[in-house]
Every structure is written in structure tokens, then in C-alpha cells.
Amino acid sequence: MHSFSLLDLSPIPEGGTAADALRNTLDLARHAEANGYHRYWLAEHHNMPGIASAATSLVIGHVAAGTKSIRVGAGGIMLPNHAPLVIAEQFGTLATLHPGRIDLGLGRAPGTDGATAHALRRHREANDSFPQDVMELLSYFDEASDETRIRAIPGHGTHVPVWVLGSSLYGAQLAAHLGLPYAFASHFAPAMLENAIATYRTTFRPSQWLAKPYFMMAAGVCAAETDEEASYLRSSQLLAFARLRTGRPGQLPRPVSDLSTEIPEPIMAQVEHALSCSATGSPETVRQQLGALAAKYQPDEMLVTGMIHDHAARLKSFAISAEALSDIAGATRAA
């Protein structure tokens, strides 16, 4: 592992507002920059009461304008929700305003429920054209010739780095085939992680964009002074995920001392499995758990995420995590 980054969904805390969430996002991004994080990514979700990053490119611009050097990008844009030309123009504009700092991660899931997907004018057959849409988008970031009829302006010639995101073998196969960097959503869907890594690395084809495979895994993190405090703070995310799984999405709940009174045991087992690629505890515990993940999966980069109701506690969690990740990355570079 050579570097580490942060994924933020701009969580709206229970009792707070979207404005609070967006202020917290910029504050967290500045702290991430100061703590050595390489990238700060935001994700596209729609019709989610607890997430404020739906207009992802706008939030990326807000964060990039409020920071100085950290890379800022999408983790990701759900491309079937959009025309590739529109995304090329948006991210071409971002790259023009913030040269050398913008990333574009692409997914093919709707990022929402069926009714909202319909409201987005998303067609069900759009998934079938995902590889072609990715290639079309890549072409808009390339140099344009005099014969090019359709250009992204701004966009052409910006060479915005494009990533393929995924939680199954489909994304791994596509990223390898196109020769693009690949990020796996192991922070909420770890089941296919090992197979996806192997597929991506063994079938990767060098391209004009990337000479050798570059793999980033995602992991949840919740760090505090003690294991007990970290477990208490993490209860907010567990409860939010359980409510989402049972069709009751809402704002990020306040932490609770006893989740057994809030989440039925079968649902809790599902939640724990889905969020198992994670590190929770004191600085030493988090260091050991993140180190074990890095040693087992050998990512080129690790993307950490975590939703904590109290903003100050969330800042501290990512600061503790940065110290651990910096040590792990340093050991990898020295090996």
C-alpha cells in the first residue's frame, strides 16, 4: 500500500440539515488534506434522507475550491444516470478550474431505488451500454482533432483520470480490459473482494491510461481513544445501514449503547457481514486491523470511510486512522 484516501457521503446527522452536512464535508476535507490523505472522494446517491452528496460534481467543486492540494473526485458517478458528454463537461470544467486534482470514478448501479431511477429518466437497458459509455467518456477527455464533431468544452485535452468502481467481478473485468485503475466497494460488499482482485490483476491489459494494474480497496473505519468508545460511535453507522436494508432510510442516527434493542438479530448478522471489511477501536486496535487488511489484500491504495454522528469525533477518527495508514504505507514503501 503506497497511499491512503478518504470517501465521504456527506452524512446528514439526525437533528441536523443538509447545510450542516456540506459544511462538515468541507471541514473534513481540509483536515484530510492536513493529515496526509491522498484523495477525497464523494459519492452519488439520490433520494437518501441521510446523504447530501447527490449533486456530486457540485460538491466536488465546493471541496476542491476550499482545499489546496488534495485530489478531489467521485467515488463515484453512476454513469447510466447521465449522458457521458454531460459528465465530461462537468469534470472537464472541474479539471480546468483545479488542474491535476480531479478524479472521476464510474459505477453502473443506480445509486437509489427503482422509483427514483425512473425520476432520473434512467432506462433499464442503460447498464448494457456501460462499457461503451465509459469509452465515449474517455474520448471526450482526450485530445480533439479538427475532424472531431462533438467535443466536451471544457473537457477535451484535460485527461481526467477515470476509474472503474465495482462490488462484483463485472467491474474488475471491465477495468482490466480497458486498462484503467479499479476501486472495489469492500466497505459494504466484501464478498467478492478476493476474486475481484485476482481477476483484475491477472487479466489487466496495459493501456494509454495505465501501464500496470492499480487497485484500491475500501474499508470502514471508526477510531477513538478506546475500543469501547469507538464501538459506541460506530453504532450510528450500523443502525443507519440496518434501517436502509429494511427499507427505512433516514438521517444518520445518534449512537446507542445497546444495538440489540434496535436491530433484530438476523438483520444485525447481515449488517455485520456487509460492513466486516473495517477497523474499529483504539489507535492501536485500528492500526492492527488496517495493517491486517493491507497485508492480506495488498492494495496499491486504501480508501477509508466512516459515518459518525458527532462531527468532532469523526474528525478525530480520521486523524487517528491517518496516523495508522501513514505508518502502514511507509512500511510498504520501505520494504
Residues 92/149, Cβ–Cβ less than 8 Å? no
> Per the omega criterion (within 30 degrees of 0), is the bond before 154 cis?
yes
Encode pLDDT of 12-36 as tens digits. 999 999 999 999 999 999 999 999 9
Average pLDDT of the residues in 136-163 = 93
Q: Residue 126's pLDDT band (boundaries 50, 70, 90)?
A: very low
pLDDT for 112: 61
Of 70, 37, 74, which is closest to residue 58 (Cα–Cα)?
A: 74
Is the per-residue pLDDT at 110 higher than 80? no
Residue showing cell 437509489: 112
CA quadruple 182, 24, 258, 282: dihedral, nearest 10:
70
Average pLDDT of the residues in 134-159 = 92
Q: For residue 269, with 0-12 CB atoms within 10 Å meaning exposed, 13-18 middle and 19 or more buried, which class applies?
A: exposed
Least confident piece of the model among 44-53, 123-132, 230-239: 123-132
Question: For the residues of 157-201, what is the DSSP string, one character each?
Answer: T----EEEEESSHHHHHHHHHHT--EEE-TTT--TTHHHHHHHHH
pLDDT for 331: 85
pLDDT for 332: 80
pLDDT for 115: 74
Is the per-residue pLDDT at 334 higher than 80? no
Q: Residue 333's pLDDT band (boundaries 50, 70, 90)?
A: confident
3-class DSSP assignment, residue 127: helix
Domain extent listing, the chain: 1-160, 216-298+308-335
Q: Between 1.25.40.90, 3.30.70.980, 3.20.20.20, 3.20.20.30, what CATH number should domain 1-160 receive?
A: 3.20.20.30
Q: How far apart are CA 280 and CA 233, in angstroms?
A: 10
Average pLDDT of the residues in 233-245 = 96
Question: For the residues of 244-311, what is the DSSP string, one character each?
Answer: HHTT---SBPPP-S-GGGTS-HHHHHHHHHHT-SEEEESHHHHHHHHHHHHHHH--SEEEEE---SSH
